[in-house]
Amino acid sequence: MSLKPATGDALTQLLRSTQAEQRVPSVAAAVVRGGERVWSDAVGHLDARADGPVATTDTQYRIGSITKTFVAVTVLRLRDEGRLALHDLVSDHLPELAHLAPFTVAQLLSHTAGIQAETSGPWWERTPGGSWDELLAGGIEQRLTPGTRFHYSNTGYAILGEVVARLTGRPWIEVVTDDVLTPLGMSRTTPRPTGLAAPGLAVHPFADVLHPEPEHDGVSLAPAGQLWSTADDLARWAAFLAGSTGDVLAPATLREMLHPVAVNDVPRIGWTGAHALGWQTWNVGGRRYAGHGGSMPGFLAALRVDVETGDGAVVLANATSGLGDVASPLLRRLTEVEPVRPEVWTAAPVPEGDLDLVGDWFWGPYRHTLKLEPGGGLRLGEPGEGRGARFERTADGWVGLEGYHSGEPLVVRRDGDTVWLELASFVFTRTPYDPSADVPGGTDTWT
């Protein structure tokens, strides 16, 4: 798949304008569509000097908190292997944390465990990290009651890294590299810079001068923001998020990871963003996006994917501040210049018996229309409206995918020529309160 030349030119123009207007030493970006990278480019000199090395899409930048998404995928892989459960108390895996109020693996993933945001020591992003034992000795505290609200926590992901290490007997980065990065071909994503890499820089807010930023191994805090990557490599991660998971993660597990768990509520501003299991999600004008941002002294990064279309964008820069949101404008420009072409409609076979289910059903006097969706799913009413929901087939029947009926079984009952549906104890019949169906509470005559 490739984009039209005019589309690539429009994306490059946006990238060049951003680099110049925001005074960013260098910036690299890529766009994915259909599970593959369709555009990438880089602008600027790595040290912001006209005779300095030029940025490329293979230049490494530190990606900061995007590292957390790799840790989260590794944790879900361990869950799928039966090594842990999301509802496990973390103290069951790390007994040294038993003095804290109980919190779960899922709460760490979604930043709802109440764990302190940063460490108790000096500014960890600009100083060499210490071991797990040293982190413990400095004190790990809870600021909030677990499960009550969102509280972003770098320290929480340090804990997750230790959970991975304790369960596997290997350092977290070794597990991430062997089980995630290598199978996806992401050889330029590493814990420390290798090959061509951008220096971390801060640009003075009132002058065109630079301040170099330090770079260290975070050690125990590394799971919160250690990784380096390139635009080309991170584009593969965007394709992964868009559904091209290969053999690394089951598609159903990825979908599970993207369900919003906790909103990031800002008083007087409100919220459009939420945290899922390791991923950030956004609702922008009714469209759902997923990804993550990243920042470390000297670096900014962003990854964002349109969940519906699979279009994604990644952006990396070597600046402590000033870049702003570039991934979203790249996606908007892509859609404006070259929108996704609709799939050609074709007929599809329907499993025997399923066609008998479509049409109108009544929950008491309320009418709902049941339709078969492409791919074999069912849609009852309109998702998001009232108790409308979508359902997928399982070995035991049908189960809800979202909304009020998420996870609830939809059971088809038959008695002779009479058919009715049971959903979360509710009964749906072909006519309002069909007397020939088994309606709890019985039925009477209409008068």
List the beta bridge partners of residue 357.
none
Burial of 98 (0-12, 13-18, 19+ CB in 10 A): exposed
Is 92 in a helix, a strand, or coil?
A: helix
**Which among 160, 195, 196 has a CA at the least distance from the CA of 74?**
160
Longest dimension (CA), the chain: 89
CA distance 395 to 443: 33
pLDDT beneath 50, residues of the chain: none
CA distance 355 to 361: 14
* Per-residue pLDDT, 264: 85
Q: Which residues of 419-446 are buried (b: 16+ CB within 10 A; e: fewer)?
A: bbbbbeeebbbeeebbeebebeeeeeee
CA distance 89 to 95: 10
* Per-residue pLDDT, 301: 98
> Which two tokens mark 36?
């593959």
Q: What is the pTM for the complete model shown?
A: 0.92
What is the DSSP track for 160-229? HHHHHHHHHSS-HHHHHIIIIITTTT-TT-BSS--SSBPPPEEE-TTSS-EEE------GGGGGGT--EE
What is the DSSP track for 363-403? ETTEEEEEEEPTTS-EEES-TTSTT-EEEEEETTEEEE-SG
CA distance 185 to 330: 25
* Per-residue pLDDT, 207: 96
**Which among 295, 296, 303, 300 has a CA at the least distance from the CA of 279?**
303
* Per-residue pLDDT, 285: 82
AA letter at 394:
T
* Per-residue pLDDT, 286: 81
Round to the nearest angstrom and report the end-to-end CA distance of the chain: 63
Tell me which DSSP letter residue 178 carries: I
CA distance 173 to 74: 10
What does pLDDT average to over the chain?
94
* Residue owning tokens 């290598």: 182
* Per-residue pLDDT, 384: 67
List the beta bridge partners of residue 296.
299
